Structure 1
Amino acid sequence: MSSLFRSLPSVDACLRWLEEDFAATPHSVLLESCRAVLDELREDIRSGRITDEAALSPERVRPRLQAVVEKKDRPRFCRVINGAGVVVHTNLGRSVLAREAREAVRIAASGYSNLEFDLETGERGSRISLVEELLCSLTGAEAALVVNNNAAAVLLMLDTMCKGGEVMLSRGQLVEIGGSFRIPDVMERSGATLREVGTTNRTHLADYERALSENTRAVLWVHPSNYRIIGFHSSVPANELADFAHAHGLPMLEDLGSGSLMDFSRWGLHDEPTVPEVLRQGTDVVTFSGDKVLGGPQAGIIVGKKEYVDRMKKNQLLRALRCDKLTLAALEATLRLYRDPETARRAIPTVRRMSMDPETLKVRAESLRDMLSGALEGRASCSLKEDFSRVGGGSFPEQGMPTTLVCVHPSVCSARQLKMRLLSTNPPLVGRLDGSSFELDPRTMDDDEFPDVARVLKDALDGIGS
């Protein structure tokens, strides 16, 4: 063992090797990598994993050093290929921005802008004005406001309009969404008091009548974006609830969650009202996300009657919740595409992927299968399987979109081992696992990503047993 320790290369020798290979990498990163690898080698000697001096030769140690530096030097935030078939994948960044939105972000990030500068008067302007007119035009609202996400939008709405009073909400709408975001907890933070109405599965208008008091500030409707109650169930339709609220001088508020500007029923996706529909039903203020079905950047959008939205604009909480210039640039560019529905369907990746027809997906799956079969010959076989994609992001729960999967059956490892190896490729590839196959859905991949898919799969399989 003493001989093995003496055979370890010195820190200086390791540094010299790395300085030749990574001239642009900071010295501190190289030094940290050297020490980390040498510590690992010492532990390998102590534990008996290394018993031969050949394992400590420059030819064996240098590649190990290089791998560590490459990992440290690689940005933690990276591109991932989404082969899982979930269009609005919460863990993978939700919606992919349209080309026009990406260009708008580039311009906003590359120089100064008119973020809060009125180009007509030469005076200070409002960042909200950059998108308010578009939002009003597209939704039919009188006024609009944008904050950093929908949770912030709900918080601002309740803090402004209901603080110190009660908000009526059906027990069937006391939801929790991702990240333990719970409507009752947000309501408590806003200073409003929750007044539960009805039961979990059945709520009637009479329940609202009984819950009404002098402390009632609003009626709240939370759209069940990410769940459904089926069976013995009933609730008061939103338009009737709005009539009830207005008859008692109360505002009708709605947290729509994953709000949409487009009706997707023609593509087999139902039961998700659009923002204009909700406003036409009599709702006074609606909040929804910008980065889900809308297909834009992360944002919380508030639209509705001017008297209520103007009050929110004056709330001091708004400054803590406002969006930055990059978000507003991307959102404006996305909204501009919605001025023509067909343009939005073609140009916005989320909308395009949700509206893909099964035949097109089958043809694309066949193309990917053929490409993979050639690249992975001898290490995996490939087949096709009919299945379903998901919208994701808490939208259209329990509604699948027909698709054709490409199933990779590795012969040199298990499908699970392949899945884990693909998490460390460049770029990482995420897919589904079903028994002995690793599956890829072409719906959430572009055609120009197919060569990368073939390359990383080949790299992952070539690295096994070599």
Structure 2
Amino acid sequence: MPDFRQLPSVETLSKHLTGESNLPRPLVTGFVKRRLAEWRTRLAEGEVADKSSIEQEIQRGLQDFSSSRLQPVINATGVIIHTNLGRSPLGQRASETLSKIATGYSNLEFNLLDGKRGKRAGYLETALAVLLETEAATAVNNCAAALVLTLRTLISSEKNEVIVSRGELVEIGGGFRIPEVLETSGAKLVEVGATNKTHLKDYADAISDRTALILKVHRSNFYLEGFTDEPDVTEISSLAHQHGIPLVEDLGSGAVMHTDQLAPIDHEPTPQDALRNGIDLVIFSGDKLLGGPQAGVIAGNADLVGRIKSEPFFRAVRCDKLILTVLQECIDDYLACKGDAKPRLPVLDFLSTPVQDLRIRAENISSQLEALSARITIEEALSRTGGGTMPRAEIPSVALRVEPDGMSLKNLAQSLRRTTPAVVGYVSDEAFLLNLRTVFPSQDQSIVNALLEVLQ
């Protein structure tokens, strides 16, 4: 017979755990009820446990649950657009304006001049079009939604075929694949070419009366080299326009500046490049190399953008006032210094910070840790752009190398993740590294405090 007497009281355990955490009492009680229900099932199935071990497991579970709340983290991984850590941090201009808009009312759909209903995102859409040097632009809540929305708009029951090179049938984060995205939109995928080679004739042979568009997908999270070939975008554009069908490109990463001028890395294709080369519509993310919020930007031919905004599905994926605010300020940052210097956005600062500046900061941090028994040295390291962008990019950086005394690297990493704010680094070559390229200078003292707390 299962001994249900070992199950602690919901009220008693909840009261005790509430005192140990900063979570609301009803949430703690709900968590405890769920875990005790699971334990009741486990005991009924023959598992044996006493009250103390049950309470301890629920306590550990609550700690794990509490740590899952969104909270600030120091990114010392060296990965600039770290998807698991929230991708690109916002710039100061955007964060300050966001606070004002979020805590009050705004002219989201109100014309301040005539007092009548205004155009939602009208300013942003014009600013985007100016920045990208194109006819029109709009934005939705993420890049995948932008692609699905575009496909839904451009296909019909008579024309539902979308031509894509086999070398561009990519899989993005979370296991989502381009063929599945097309299927969701109701489009029929027509694959052309081979994985490593696609010729212009492959595209031409695939065009039929049912062709709705040709889709180009930038290989932003992997690369092909060796025995490879593909036609120039201008050639595909000419072919598409000869047949009166649009050419759409999903660029993904959304770099609007020349990345090779910011860091010793390759040039990442920009939306401006794509549009100048004959792309009718370009789609890209807002929270990657652009340095803004999660959003999907659609830009190019004014008639096509207008059709997309008239699609009923557009309302389901439109941006709320907070995303519109942040994206608006991000684009204004670019426009304010267009043709002069780079805007002060964290993702661009991280890309372009000189290695010598990082080394000076590392020396300052290590000088405050000399009393620790752990061995802390400074070494050269590499950073990556991350976020499914520029897989070959390796940016020189500087890292603190920590070799603890009497503590495993696993425990050190875990302990640093439990400090406030949490510090996330990585293990490499039998040491724990803190890569400073992705650490804000204002966070250096927090790293000192965290290491002192954990290692003393």
Same fold (TM over 0.5): yes
Counterpart residue number, 1:437: 431
Counterpart residue number, 1:317: 313
Note closer, same or farther for the CA distance 1:119–1:400 as it changes in structure 2 (3 Å cut).
same
Residues in 2 aligned to 1:448 and 1:397: alpha-carbon distance in whole angstroms: 29
Amino acid at match of 1:159: R
Note closer, same or farther for the CA distance 1:284–1:69 as it changes in structure 2 (3 Å cut).
closer
Which shows bigger deviation, 77-86 or 208-217?
208-217
3-state SS in 2 of match to 1:388: strand
Counterpart residue number, 1:57: none
Amino acid at match of 1:183: I
Which shows bigger deviation, 310-319 or 105-114?
105-114
User: Per-residue displacement from partner, 1:370-411 (whole Å, max 9, x unpaired)?
Assistant: 23334xx12x11112212100111111111001111101101
Residue 357 of structure 1, aligned match among 347, 354, 361: 354
Contact 1:197 1:211 in 2 (8 A): yes
Counterpart residue number, 1:297: 293
Q: CA RMSD in A?
A: 3.3
Amino acid at match of 1:351: L
User: Per-residue displacement from partner, 1:304-332 (whole Å, max 9, x unpaired)?
Assistant: 01010000010000011111100000000
Amino acid at match of 1:91: N
Matches within 5 A, 1:86-165: 86-164=79-157, 165=160
Greater C-alpha Rg? 1
| Deviation of the 1:244 alpha carbon | 1.2
Residues in 2 aligned to 1:445 and 1:150: alpha-carbon distance in whole angstroms: 27
The answer as to 2:185 corresponding to 1:190 is yes
Matches within 5 A, 1:420-431: 420-431=414-425
Amino acid at match of 1:292: K
Contact 2:14 2:25 in 1 (8 A): no
Amino acid at match of 1:358: V
Structure 1 residue ranges without an equivalent (≥5): 50-60
Contact 1:167 1:219 in 2 (8 A): yes
Residues in 2 aligned to 1:278 and 1:319: alpha-carbon distance in whole angstroms: 27
Residues in 2 aligned to 1:131 and 1:427: alpha-carbon distance in whole angstroms: 34
Per the normalisation by structure 1, the TM-score is 0.85
Residue 454 of structure 2, aligned match among 448, 454, 460: 460
Matches within 5 A, 1:316-465: 316-339=312-335, 340-341=337-338, 345-374=342-371, 377-378=372-373, 380-462=374-456
Which shows bigger deviation, 159-168 or 178-187?
159-168
Note closer, same or farther for the CA distance 1:12–1:393 as it changes in structure 2 (3 Å cut).
closer
Note closer, same or farther for the CA distance 1:137–1:16 as it changes in structure 2 (3 Å cut).
closer
Note closer, same or farther for the CA distance 1:13–1:348 as it changes in structure 2 (3 Å cut).
closer
3-state SS in 1 of match to 2:284: strand
| Deviation of the 1:48 alpha carbon | 9.7
| Deviation of the 1:17 alpha carbon | 11
Contact 2:416 2:454 in 1 (8 A): yes
The answer as to 2:281 corresponding to 1:285 is yes
Identity across the alignment (%): 39
| Deviation of the 1:31 alpha carbon | 6.7
Residues in 2 aligned to 1:357 and 1:383: alpha-carbon distance in whole angstroms: 20
Contact 1:18 1:66 in 2 (8 A): no
Residues in 1 aligned to 2:276 and 2:17: alpha-carbon distance in whole angstroms: 69
Contact 1:163 1:190 in 2 (8 A): no
Contact 1:11 1:34 in 2 (8 A): no
Residues in 1 aligned to 2:144 and 2:320: alpha-carbon distance in whole angstroms: 17
Matches within 5 A, 1:168-207: 168-207=163-202
3-state SS in 2 of match to 1:345: coil
| Deviation of the 1:357 alpha carbon | 1.9
Residue 232 of structure 2, aligned match among 231, 237, 254: 237
Structure 2 residue ranges without an equivalent (≥5): 40-46
Amino acid at match of 1:336: D
Contact 2:18 2:25 in 1 (8 A): no
Note closer, same or farther for the CA distance 1:427–1:311 as it changes in structure 2 (3 Å cut).
same
Residues in 2 aligned to 1:259 and 1:16: alpha-carbon distance in whole angstroms: 49
Residue 259 of structure 2, aligned match among 260, 264, 278: 264
Counterpart residue number, 2:243: 248
